[in-house]
Amino acid sequence: MAGFIGLVVLVGVAGFLSAVRCNPGCKGTDGHPGEAGSPGRDGLSGMKGEKGAPAVSVDGPGDQPVLLRLKGDRGSPGVVGPMGPKGFRGHVGASGLPGEPGPLGQHGRNIGAGQSVSQQEAQFSSFSVIRNDSTYPPFKKISFQSVVVNNPGDFNMTGGTFVCRIPGVYYFTFHSVAKVSMCLSLVADSADDKLTFCDYNSNRIYEHMLSGGAVLKLAANNKVWLESFQDEQSASDTQDIRDKYIIFNGFLLFSNPE
């Protein structure tokens, strides 16, 4: 509006100036209309408006229709969080029901006839023989006077020798009781070394016991016997005639499967 007023004033002044230079009565032709002026400047900013009502009241959810109008769209789901700690162990449950019976096994195969009772008895071999002679045993193979057991008879009393009939593994053991020193060896013709055992009885008053034994693997006709041998015994030992007692035992542990 102010710009428009300014334009009217300028036009009025221009018309006055042209009228001053002209004589009274002269009359020129009308001038051309002036060109349109340039646009005016922007007007001033208006006053600040009043503050609007709060969207949500501080002390409550506010007006439900207002909230619904203000509510935004549902966001996208968040990422899965980290796994939580392991829980407590649970109680052991009750036993389950028995399972179904398994399928039948394969048919067995024949691995040969079983042994008769008489054949099984033939696999036994055992003996226990005693020398009760009070003289000192001479330094050689020992002979025995009485038999406790000799079943089925593999110990030859005449020769004082066990003769292997059933190849297998045997256990032999002996004990002697005397008031003098004793040295005895277990001898097997299949072995290179004699197994020697000595007991030195220095007081010659009380009875001492000497023991020895071994497990031996024997083939048929191998022989095993007991020998007395000279070590450091004195004449007082070998000339003693008080009671002496030697027991010699042997039995088959198991026969070879050959």
Query: Residue 234 interacts with ligand NAG (CB under 6 A)?
Result: no
34 binds ligand NAG (CB under 6 A): no
Nearer to ligand NAG, 144 or 172 (CB): 144
Smaller CB separation from ligand NAG, 110 or 158: 158
- Quick check: 221 binds ligand NAG (CB under 6 A)? no
Question: Least distance (Å) from ligand NAG to the CB of residue 109?
Answer: 42
- SS3 (DSSP) at 117: helix
**How far is the C-alpha of 130 from the C-alpha of 124, rounded, in Å?**
21
- Of 226, 231, 225, which Cα lies nearest the Cα of 180? 231
The stretch among 44-52, 63-71, 109-117, 151-159 that binds ligand NAG (CB under 6 A) is 151-159
| 151 is a contact residue toward ligand NAG (CB under 6 A) | no
**Residues sharing a CB contact under 8 Å with residue 216, sequence separation 6 or more, in sequence order:** 169, 170, 171, 172, 188, 190, 191, 224
Is the four-CA dihedral 65, 67, 68, 69 of positive or negative sign?
positive
Per CB under 6 A, 143 contacts ligand NAG:
no
Q: Report in angstroms how near the CB of residue 225 gets to ligand NAG at its nearest.
A: 11
Site of tokens 């054949």: 119
Q: How far is the CB of 222 from ligand NAG (least distance, A)?
A: 14
User: 186 pairs with which residues across the strands?
Assistant: 195, 226
Task: Give yes or no for residue 134 binding ligand NAG (CB under 6 A).
Answer: yes
| CA distance linking residue 205 with residue 68, whole number of Å | 122
Q: Among residues 76 and 158, whose Cβ is nearest to ligand NAG? A: 158
| Least spacing, CB of residue 208 vs ligand NAG, in Å | 19
Contact 115, 150 (CB under 8 A): no
Per-residue string for binding with ligand NAG, 155-194, x by CB under 6 A?
A: -x-xx-----------------------------------
Is 236 a residue that touches ligand NAG (CB under 6 A)?
no
Residue pair 204/97 in contact (Cβ under 8 Å)? The answer is: no
Residue 239 touches ligand NAG, criterion: CB under 6 A = no
Alpha helix (H) residue ranges in the chain:
2-20, 64-70, 117-121, 235-238
Phi-psi region of 160 (alpha: psi -120 to 50; beta: other; left: phi over 0): left
Residue nearest to ligand NAG (CB): 159
Residues in the chain: 258
152 is a site residue for ligand NAG (CB under 6 A)? no
Nearest CA to 208 among 193, 217, 197? 197
Q: Which is nearer to ligand NAG, 145 or 239 (CB)?
A: 145
Q: Which residues bind ligand NAG (CB under 6 A)?
A: 132, 134, 145-146, 156, 158-159
